[in-house]
Amino acid sequence: MHELMVVLSDAGGGEGELSWQERSLCAQTDPEAFFPEKGGSTREAKKVCVGCEVRAECLEYALANDERFGIWGGLSERERRKLKKRAV
């Protein structure tokens, strides 16, 4: 099971308010696009992320939890690693 699916299945929304994971566009999309094979295209996943209302929360989660695989907040693992290096 992909990490994103695990996160989404563990997501507990507050009373009457959906968690950011439940509001994410990727939750309504094929998860395979967000975990491409090595060297595979990230284009489709990133297109979904551009229009997502919780993109910032997703990226924040990935950075805080050192997610090493998949597209999170519209960035690949390599892009997130570069972002973290610049922040240090």
> What are the tens digits of pLDDT across the range 32-58?
999 998 889 999 999 999 999 999 999
Domain count, the chain: 1
Q: Residues annotated as binding site?
A: 26, 49, 52, 58
Residue 7 belongs to domain spanning: 3-87
Q: What is the pLDDT of residue 88?
A: 74
- How far apart are alpha carbons 45 and 29 in whole angstroms? 9
The 10 Å CB-count burial string (b at 16+, else e) for 20-50 is bbebbbbbebebebbbbeeeeebebbbebbe
- How far apart are alpha carbons 52 and 29 in whole angstroms? 12
Q: Residues annotated as binding site for [4Fe-4S] cluster?
A: 26, 49, 52, 58
For the chain, give the mean pLDDT. Answer: 84
Q: What is the pTM of this model?
A: 0.76
